[in-house]
Amino acid sequence: MGAGAQGSLGVLLDSLGNDTYIGGSQGSASPTVDPTYHNATQCGGNFSFLVDYGGTDKYSTGAKNNSFNTRGSASGFLIDRPLETGPQ
């Protein structure tokens, strides 16, 4: 669910709906890369994004609706945004 590890990019984007996310790695990026698996200086690290736009959502990680969370390392994000209903 938008998790990144071992030199990867993880993305989950959801628009609308009331969702329940179950699992521990939601929007989490591992702070390290296993040097026996990838050369960290060549792979660029790990990045992850779970972005949910609209709806009333539940997260087993304890994240709240309408919140911004850094997860795992400085490059892991769980972002829950409210639905904009005003003029665009």
Predicted local confidence at residue 21, as pLDDT: 94
Q: What is the pLDDT of residue 42?
A: 74
Q: Quick one: pLDDT band at residue 53, thresholds 50, 70, 90? A: very high
pLDDT of residue 33: 82
Contact 19, 55 (CB under 8 A): yes
Question: Hey, which residues does 76 pair with through a beta bridge?
Answer: 48
What confidence score (pLDDT) does residue 88 get?
61
The count of other CB atoms within 10 Å of the CB of residue 37 is 11
pLDDT (tens digit per residue) in 19-46: 999 988 888 888 888 877 777 677 778 8
What confidence score (pLDDT) does residue 40 get?
65
13, with CB counted inside 10 A (0-12, 13-18, 19+), is: exposed
